[in-house]
């Protein structure tokens, strides 16, 4: 029987640099897939969509920003939308308005479901999983639901998600 690896101390994770940034889950450093064109293109389009409305909607949008889910869990969403009325945090500790995950070829459904569940446990109300191949989902109450609406208001904010507008920004 193989020995279980020793947990990594939180301080080691917080003081280390990873390319791309890694996640920290209960003492385990989890590597994230390296982005490819489709993922990077979607990430840029989502960022552009929200950043061009940042003043009007009083928000901030960032790519690959660490979000502290709990004392020993840090996730790194592909895109995070934050309420600008909160102070800037180097590592986000309050629930963002929305998080977006963009599927890459290396992602697995099992790993993604755990990650999306972590976001929901933190209190994030809008959790979207976008597949560059055309399938898009909303995560609610522990389930992935096909995205039935292409435009809708984001709870707890004045933001409006509009998939059609984001797709127009893709290269």
Residue 30 confidence (pLDDT):
94
Residue 2 confidence (pLDDT):
61
Stretch (H or E) spanning 80: strand 79-83
Query: Tens digits of per-residue pLDDT, 87-99?
Result: 999 999 999 999 9
Q: Is 111 helix (H, G, I), strand (E, B) or coil?
A: helix
Structural domain includes residue 11: no
Q: Domain of residue 157: give its range.
A: 34-168
Residue 20 confidence (pLDDT):
87
Structural domain includes residue 9: no
Q: Give the torsion through C-alpha atoms of 23, 26, 29, 32, to 10 deg.
A: -40
The enclosing domain of 39 has a CATH number of 3.90.1570.10
User: Taking 60 as the threshold, does the pLDDT of residue 1 lie above it?
Assistant: no
Structural domain includes residue 152: yes
Residue 93 confidence (pLDDT):
98
Structural domain includes residue 154: yes
Across the range 34-61, mean pLDDT stands at 95
Structural domain includes residue 120: yes
Q: How far is CA 30 from CA 25, 26, 82, in A?
A: 7, 10, 24
Structural domain includes residue 47: yes
pTM value?
A: 0.93
Residue 33 confidence (pLDDT):
84
Question: What's the domain count of the chain?
Answer: 1
């Amino acid at each position: 029987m193989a020995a279980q690896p020793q947990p990594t101390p939180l301080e080691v994770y917080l003081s280390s640099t990873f390319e791309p940034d890694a996640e920290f889950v209960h003492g385990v450093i989890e590597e994230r897939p390296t982005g490819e064109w489709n993922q990077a293109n979607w990430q840029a389009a989502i960022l552009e969509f929200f950043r061009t409305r940042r003043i009007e909607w009083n928000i901030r949008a960032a790519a690959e920003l660490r979000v502290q889910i709990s004392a020993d869990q840090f996730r790194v969403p592909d895109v995070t939308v934050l309420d600008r009325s909160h102070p800037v945090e180097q590592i986000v500790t309050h629930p963002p308005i929305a998080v977006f995950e963009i599927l890459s070829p290396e992602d697995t459904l099992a790993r993604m479901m755990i990650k999306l569940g972590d976001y929901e446990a933190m209190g994030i109300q809008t959790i979207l999983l976008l597949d560059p191949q055309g399938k898009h989902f909303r995560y609610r109450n522990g389930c992935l639901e096909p995205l039935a609406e292409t435009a809708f208001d984001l709870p707890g904010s004045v933001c409006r998600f509009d998939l059609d507008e984001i797709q127009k920004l893709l290269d």
